[in-house]
Amino acid sequence: MSEFKAILFDKDGTIFDSEAVYRESWVKAANELGFHFTAEMYDPFVGVRAIESYQGAEKLFGPDFPIDEFIQRTRLYNEQVKKAGMPIKPGFEAFFSQAKKLNIPLGLVTSAVHDAAISTFQGTDFLQSFSVIVTGDMVEHPKPDPSCYQMACEQLKLKPSEVLVFEDSNAGVAAAVSAGCQTVAIPDYLPVKPELLKQAAYVFNSFNDALFLVK
């Protein structure tokens, strides 16, 4: 692994244990509306932008599915959790605190649109430490396309090979690897494909395992 000059973080499933929250909101909303949906059925939507996820829901449930009501219900549930404080992934706070001491740029690269991304950070002080923020509405193509990480590296005026990236999902790891970044995979509740893990610089169970990188 080469020396890195900046660190970029994905949001959902990496900083926050939010994929579980989003999954629960889909299960709850769909069943309240009379449509069968299980936690396992949410798996294909992990790491996918909201707009593509809701398009997928329409295709899954068919033409009679009340998509507007579904979106409203899932967003209401998610906002309630955000206001109470989105759960943070194990070890992230200690890692982030140590990373700030390196005096190198830290950044956020997420598939979420800007307003939704910012609102997730309610009750935390992480945002003020980010030198760069790239959200899903800033790029034409979502992860696994590498353009989001390419944009972040351009803003940092660094080569991708000089940037360390933390990701949790197949789409995210693929995007970071394709961009040429030094990629650290910390899989969330869904496993990352073995062929992607082979291309990662490190694979950890949590940020606790990665703490040595910033000491």
> Which whole number is the average pLDDT over 119-140?
96
> Which whole number is the average pLDDT over 202-209?
98
Q: Which two tokens stand for residue 40?
A: 């396992």
pLDDT at res. 164 = 98
**pLDDT tens digits, residue range 58-97?**
999 999 999 999 999 999 999 999 999 999 999 999 999 9
> Which whole number is the average pLDDT over 101-122?
95
The domain segmentation of the chain, as residue ranges, is 6-17+88-214, 19-84
pLDDT at res. 48 = 85
- Distance, in Å, from the CA atom of 209 to the CA atom of 188, rounded to the nearest integer, reads 14
Residue 105 has pLDDT above 80, yes or no: yes
Kindly state the percentage of the chain with pLDDT values over 90. Answer: 94
Residue 1 has pLDDT above 90, yes or no: no
**pLDDT tens digits, residue range 149-195?**
999 999 999 999 999 999 999 999 999 999 999 999 999 988 999 99
Q: Are strands 106-109 and 130-134 parallel, antiparallel or unpaired?
A: parallel
Strands (E), the chain: 6-9, 106-109, 130-134, 163-167, 182-185, 202-203
**pLDDT tens digits, residue range 17-32?**
998 999 999 999 999 9
Q: Which two tokens stand for residue 64?
A: 């009679």
Exposed, middle or buried, 36 (CB in 10 Å: 0-12/13-18/19+)?
exposed
Mean pLDDT across the chain, nearest whole number? Answer: 95
| Coil/strand/helix, residue 16 | strand
- 174 contacts 143 by C-beta, under 8 angstroms: yes
What are the distances in angstroms from CA 210 to CA 102, 161, 164, 186, 204? 15, 18, 12, 9, 7
> Which whole number is the average pLDDT over 99-121?
96
Q: Which two tokens stand for residue 200?
A: 């990662």
> Which whole number is the average pLDDT over 7-18?
96
Q: Fold for domain 6-17+88-214?
A: Rossmann fold (3.40.50)
Of 154, 166, 171, which is closest to residue 201 (Cα–Cα)? 166
> Which whole number is the average pLDDT over 10-20?
95
Q: In what order do the strands lie in the sheet with 202-203?
A: 130-134, 106-109, 6-9, 163-167, 182-185, 202-203
Kindly state the percentage of the chain with pLDDT values over 70. Answer: 99
- Distance, in Å, from the CA atom of 109 to the CA atom of 158, rounded to the nearest integer, reads 15
Residue 2 has pLDDT above 70, yes or no: no
- Distance, in Å, from the CA atom of 82 to the CA atom of 77, rounded to the nearest integer, reads 9
- Distance, in Å, from the CA atom of 10 to the CA atom of 172, rounded to the nearest integer, reads 8
Of 76, 82, 78, 148, which is closest to residue 111 (Cα–Cα)? 148
pLDDT at res. 22 = 94
φ/ψ of residue 136, rounded to 5: -60, -25
